[in-house]
Every structure is written in C-alpha cells, then in structure tokens.
Chain A
Amino acid sequence: MAVGSFSSWVAGPGQVILPLAAAGIVVVAWLLVRRSLNWQFTGRITLDVALLALGLLAFVLTAGFPTMSFKGVDARMVPRVWSILLMVLAAARLAIGLLGKDVPDPKKGRLDKVLLLLALLVLKIIGITWVGYFISAGLFVLACAILLGYKNPVGLIACAGGWVAFSYLVFYKLLSVPLPTGVLFSTIF
C-alpha cells in the first residue's frame, strides 16, 4: 500500500478500525494472561498492554494528519515523540510484569458496588435529559447513599434535599448555570 493511500485510510475508515483493533489487542491480552502462569499479574499486564496499544494507536493515527508543515516542522512531530516514549516505557513495564518481578494485583474489592454506582451515574445522565437536573440529582444522591449503605432516612432526605437546594441557589440562581429542566417538563410547561 502506498504511503498516500495508507494516510487516507488512517484518516478515513482507520479512525474506527484502529481503535477497535487496539481494544481487541487489550481483550486478547487479558484473556491470555489470566489463563497463563502470570495470572496473578493479569490486571497489571493488561494495563501495560493497554498503554502500549494506546501508544501504538496514537503513533499510527498521526499518519492520518494533514501533511502541512512550516520550516520542516509539522503537527505530527511531537505526538509521535510522546507516543514512541509511551510505547518504550510501557514495554519496559510489561517486561517487568511478564518476568514475574512485579507485585501481584491488588485484591478485588466491592467491584459490584462500583459497577452499580456507574449504572446509577448513567441513569442520572439519562434522567437529566428527561426529567431535568434537580429531580435526577436529588434521586441520585438518595440512591447513591443507600447503595453505599447509609440508612438514616432523615439524613438521606436532608442530604438529597440540601444538595438540590444548594445547586439551585448557588449554580442555577447565583452563577446562572443553565441546568437542564428536562424534555418532559419543558414539553408540559
């Protein structure tokens, strides 16, 4: 493939295919490491592979930048330097992990809670679009505190209500931040 056509491929379909390929490398590395003798370093090695893949992805993507230059200096020079550096450093870390000289992965904590928290955040963001900021923020504080194990109903209501009042007074009124009122309410009212 000629250099010119490769650049246009990177600037075109490569923008989707290359990140997917990098993600694929990371997933394959994760699957391989967890079944290998180095399984206790799975997280560390996968992260180092991800950093290496990120460096490689950034380097390849620079090929798609327009070839404009001024006095021999173009926009690709510095990102290429950083991506090469990232690849070299990540490879050094990867070697430490693969040779088993690293410390084992930290113990898994309550990842279920983290995932539920992320789900709550996604719901909050969807909620902001539909029912507006104030209702979804109040419900989020309430649900998040319950998820984390807080049980006092008075404290829960005070905290959620306090946050809604605070964000309304300080951000909406004082700082004039246009917080979304939600599609539902803007249609009704």
Chain B
Amino acid sequence: MNPQSLLTIALGVVVGILAGAMPGVSPSMGVALMVPFTYAMDPSMALVFLAAIYLAANYGGSITAVTINTPGTPSAVVTAFDGYPLSKKGRAGEALGVSLVSSVVGGAVGIIVLILFSGPLARMALKFWPAEYFSLAVLGLSTIASMGGENALKCAISAVLGLLISTVGMDSILGVSRFTFGNVNLFDGFEFIPFLIGLLALSEVFVGVERHDFEAEYAAGAAKAKWPSFAYYWKLRMSMLRASIIGTIVGIFPGAGATIATFISYDVEKRLSKTPEAFGEGVPEGVAAAEAANSSSVGGAMVPMLTLGIPGSATAAVLLGALMIHNLQPGPELFVKHPEIVYRLFAALLIANIVLLILGLAGSRLWINVTRVRKELLYPLIFSFAMIGSYAVNARMWDVFVCLGFGIVGAILKRYGYPLPPLVLGVVLGEMAEVNLRRAVMMAGPTAIFQRPGSVALLVVAALSFLIPIMQARKTKQNAKQNASQKA
C-alpha cells in the first residue's frame, strides 16, 4: 500500500461521508457521480476509491439521521429511530459516537467475511455453465420482491423495463441492431453512467424541485456534545456483533440490501432487550444495531458482486458498472485474471475502515456542516456534476441527452411510486440473463435451464426469494388490518 493508495482511500472516505450525509445523495448516487473521476486512474485504484466511498457513505447517512432526523441514505432510517431522540435529549455526541464505532465494527466484520468466503465461492462459480449463469441472473432479479414490499408489481414492472432497456443496441451474439432507430449513438446501447446518473441523481433533483421544500434544519449544538468513553462502547459489543453478523448475511443475498438488514437487526435487538419499550425513545443499542448492520452489509454485498458478478445492492450495481467501464468483468474470472486487484481491494477496505474511524472522530464537527448546504445551491451543483460526468464518458453531447432523458423518466416513475433500484438491477443483469439463456438454449435446446441440477436449484431459490417477501408483506398487512379492526 503506497502513499498514493492511502491518499485515494482517505479521499474516498471523505467523499463518501459527505455524500452519505447529504440528504438526497444516496451511496449509489455518490459512487455514480464519482465514477467519471476514475477514468484516468488505473482499474485497481478506481475500485479502491469507489469502494471507500461506498463504505463511508453508509456511515455518512447516519450523521443527518442523528442530528436532524433526516436520514442521508435509506439504510440510515433505522438509525434515526433512536439516534434523533438521543440528540433531542442533548446526547447527540453519544449517538454519533455509537454510530461511528458500530459502523467501523460492522464494516470490519463484513470485510472479514468477504475475504474468507469470496475465494471458495469464486472457485465454485468457475464450474458454472450458461444455464447456471442465467438462473443466477434470475436469482438476482428475484430479489426485487424485497425491494418494494407491498409494491411487488411496481418493482417487477421497473425490473422488466430495465431488462428491455438492456436489449437496446447491437445484439452481442448475432450482431443484429435492435431498437436503434438507425441512430449510431445507440449501437452500443445506452451508456451506463449517463443512464445511472440521470436515473438516480437527476430524478431526485427534479422531484425535490417539484416538492420545493428547501427549509433546512440546523443542528449546530450536536457537534459540541460530549463523546462517549471506551467503556461505554464495550457495553454495546454484543449488540454490535449480532447486528454485524445479521447485516453481513443479509448483504450477501443479492438485492436484499442494507435497509432490510438494519430493520432485521433492530428488531432482533428489541426482542432481546430487557426494556423493549424504550426502543424508539433514544436507546444506544438501537443505534448500534442499525449502524453495525448497515455497514457490515457492504462487505456482504460485495461477496456476490465480486464472485458471481451479481450486485448485492444498488450501490454494488453501480460499482459493477464502474468495473465494466475499466474493462474488468466481475465474477469468478476476476479472481483468476486479476487476483492482484481483488486482494488490493480487500486490503484497501480494511484500511478504509480504519481511516473512517480516524476521520469520523476528527471531522465530526466538519461533517455536520454538510447539512447546512442549502438545496438551492446543492441542486444546481448536482445538475452540473451530472452533466459533466455524462459528457466525460465519451466526450459527446448524446450522453448528456441520455442522462437528462433518464432523469425525466426516473422522476416520473418516482412520482408514481415505482422504485428505481429494480430498474438499475434489470439493466445490469439484462445482458447476463439474455446472453446465457441464448447460449444455454443453443447448447441444449429450449429446456436447457432445467437440465442441470445447479440451475434448477438456483431457480428454486429464486422462486422462494421472490415469493417469501411478498407473502410476508401481505401477512403484515393482514395483521395490521386485524389489529385495526380489533381496536375499532
């Protein structure tokens, strides 16, 4: 690890914390906005930089959740449950301290699991045939059910729309031009980064401008609060550890994501607590559980991304796209062809975690100032970032139009409750699903995907993964209805 790498990691951590702390800038958006900066970097440095942003953004989201009850990221929602009440009680320092240390502990557990299990998983994946790869893509797509809960239908529409978008351009097997309308700019399909920046960043800005609620809250007092001692953190060690394990496991499942992990961990801590009624009123265990699970899911989400080429979260999907831009194909072959990049990433993630602790402690007062950036200034800058980032991909205005177009599409879908992560997942997994399905059919006929046990097993897991969250959501809805009718 040379000084240049350390500087890159530190820069990634700072950018990640700032991106996570800014409400409206999700980790995936933060990583997407920074991809153009990596063009001039060598692939491993680019991956290290983006992974450091991902890791730190998950912690950054908790800063605004604790101080102004505005989670900077969706996964920081649970942190706000107890973090904000602690702040209101004048214990913001405790909440921020627990949040930081739990993030570091959770992040370390996730990375250790990534180091231990990515190798064996990659070796297993090398034995896969096209049929298994297709089923794997279906498994990745099946997890959209857990992204939307009750909105499973909207999630499915979003994902299918993404799959359809992925077919635009030259067909990679027969070289047939599809949905290009004779436009040469479309021969390679939609460029991924302008698509992503438009869909995630611009749509958020359009929705924000329509809402036009720019009243910022300030929490200057939070930074002045007292930070806890080591003994205080030691008391929370079991909560952190339990949540870290849950977060890592949930993170491994493609599409499950950090938000689900935080809810599960919080629920487990509440059930195990002697004072469950205090949860939601300002309990450090609640903050520790949410943040440890949130950060540990990063390592977990990278396991399927690196070993199978399937993103475990929306941010991992962006990272996957960034890897492809640098001509790196995530999956088992990455471990064979570029092992130095993989092991450099592992080392970098561990160091990024330590850097996060140092910078998190040192910069606590500074981070809170991010919340003071007024949206009237933030939005024009996001627009400018999005435009220049899209243009920089190929130095052509077409990509700027693509970014703008998907920004408008994303804003419309968002306005009517269509989640955008499944659309990204559809675009990311579309080519993998199509190419492998066609290869499998060419090799073994129309029933190819049902002929290999591995493929069938993956399809069964995919079916369960799709149905269980929908059934759970329905059950929860029915229980809520029953409770409401009993009360009435």
Chain A interface residues (CB < 8 Å from chain B): 15, 19, 43-44, 47, 51, 54-55, 58, 61-62, 65-66, 68-75, 77-79, 82-83, 85-86, 89-90, 92-93, 96, 105-106, 109-111, 113-114, 117-118, 121, 124-125, 128-129, 133, 137, 140-141, 144-145, 148-150, 155, 159, 163, 167, 170-171, 174-179
Q: Which residues of A contact B98 (CB under 8 A)?
A: none
Instruction: State A41–B332 Cα separation when bound (angstroms).
Output: 48
Q: Which residues of B contact A71 (CB under 8 A)?
A: 441-442
> Of the candidates A47, A54, A55, A75, which one forms a contact with B176 in the assembled complex, judged by CB atoms under 8 Å apart?
A75
Q: Does B115 contact A (CB under 8 A)?
A: no
**Interface contact A72-B441, CB-CB below 8 Å:** yes
**Interface contact B36-A175, CB-CB below 8 Å:** yes
Nearest 6 CB-CB pairings of A with B: A150-B376, A144-B380, A109-B210, A75-B176, A75-B171, A148-B376
Q: Which residues of B contact A118 (CB under 8 A)?
A: 408
Question: How many contacts between A and B, using CB within 8 angstroms?
Answer: 160
Instruction: State A117–B207 Cα separation when bound (angstroms).
Output: 12
The DSSP consensus for interface residues of chain A is helix
Q: Which residues of B contact A73 (CB under 8 A)?
A: 173, 438, 441-442
Q: Which residues of A contact B212 (CB under 8 A)?
A: 109-110, 113, 148
Q: Which residues of B contact A44 (CB under 8 A)?
A: 416
**Interface contact A58-B210, CB-CB below 8 Å:** no
Instruction: State A76–B418 Cα separation when bound (angstroms).
Output: 27
Q: List 6 A-B contacts (CB under 8 A).
A: A43-B416, A66-B176, A78-B438, A86-B160, A129-B397, A148-B380
Instruction: State A164–B164 Cα separation when bound (angstroms).
Output: 38
Known: A43-B415, A93-B153, A144-B383. A70 touches B442 (CB 8 A): yes
Q: Does B395 contact A (CB under 8 A)?
A: yes
The segment from B77-85, B178-186, B321-329, B337-345 that touches chain A is B178-186
Q: Which residues of A contact B388 (CB under 8 A)?
A: 133, 137, 167, 171, 177, 179
**Interface contact B176-A93, CB-CB below 8 Å:** no
Closest Cβ–Cβ distance, residue B111 to chain A (whole Å) = 30
**Interface contact A140-B40, CB-CB below 8 Å:** no
Within 8 A of A (CB), among B346-381: 374-377, 379-381
Instruction: State A174–B191 Cα separation when bound (angstroms).
Output: 23
Q: Does B206 contact A (CB under 8 A)?
A: yes
Q: Does B197 contact A (CB under 8 A)?
A: no
Within 8 A of A (CB), among B429-466: 433-434, 437-438, 441-442
Q: Which residues of A contact B408 (CB under 8 A)?
A: 118
Closest Cβ–Cβ distance, residue B113 to chain A (whole Å) = 35
Interface residues as binary, B22-47 with A (CB distance below 8 Å gives 1, 0 otherwise): 00000000000000110110000000
**Interface contact A128-B380, CB-CB below 8 Å:** no
Q: Does B156 contact A (CB under 8 A)?
A: yes
Sorting the interface of chain B by its residue count into under 10, 10 to 19, 20 to 34 or 35 or more gives 35 or more
Q: Which residues of B contact A19 (CB under 8 A)?
A: 181
Closest Cβ–Cβ distance, residue B323 to chain A (whole Å) = 19
**Given A55-B164, A93-B154, 17 further pairs, Cβ under 8 A:** A65-B178, A68-B176, A71-B442, A73-B438, A73-B441, A78-B167, A78-B438, A79-B164, A82-B160, A82-B167, A96-B153, A125-B400, A141-B380, A145-B376, A148-B375, A150-B374, A159-B381
Q: Does B174 contact A (CB under 8 A)?
A: yes
Q: Which residues of A contact B206 (CB under 8 A)?
A: 114, 117
Query: Closest B-chain residue to A51, C-beta based?
Result: B157
Query: Closest A-chain residue to B172, C-beta based?
Result: A75
Chain B interface residues (CB < 8 Å from chain A): 36-37, 39-40, 153-154, 156-157, 160-161, 163-164, 167, 171, 173-174, 176-179, 181-182, 206, 209-212, 214, 374-377, 379-381, 383-384, 387-388, 391-392, 395, 397, 400-401, 404, 408, 411-413, 415-416, 418, 433-434, 437-438, 441-442
**Interface contact A145-B380, CB-CB below 8 Å:** yes
Closest Cβ–Cβ distance, residue B464 to chain A (whole Å) = 20
**Interface contact A85-B160, CB-CB below 8 Å:** yes
**Interface contact B174-A75, CB-CB below 8 Å:** yes
Instruction: State A44–B392 Cα separation when bound (angstroms).
Output: 36
Instruction: State A96–B417 Cα separation when bound (angstroms).
Output: 14
Closest Cβ–Cβ distance, residue A15 to chain B (whole Å) = 5
Q: Which residues of A contact B377 (CB under 8 A)?
A: 145, 150, 155, 159
**Interface contact A90-B380, CB-CB below 8 Å:** no
**Interface contact B392-A82, CB-CB below 8 Å:** no
Instruction: State A56–B392 Cα separation when bound (angstroms).
Output: 35
**Interface contact B171-A176, CB-CB below 8 Å:** no
**Interface contact B380-A79, CB-CB below 8 Å:** no
Instruction: State A178–B212 Cα separation when bound (angstroms).
Output: 35
Query: Closest A-chain residue to B433, C-beta based?
Result: A78
Known: A15-B182, A79-B178. A141 touches B384 (CB 8 A): yes
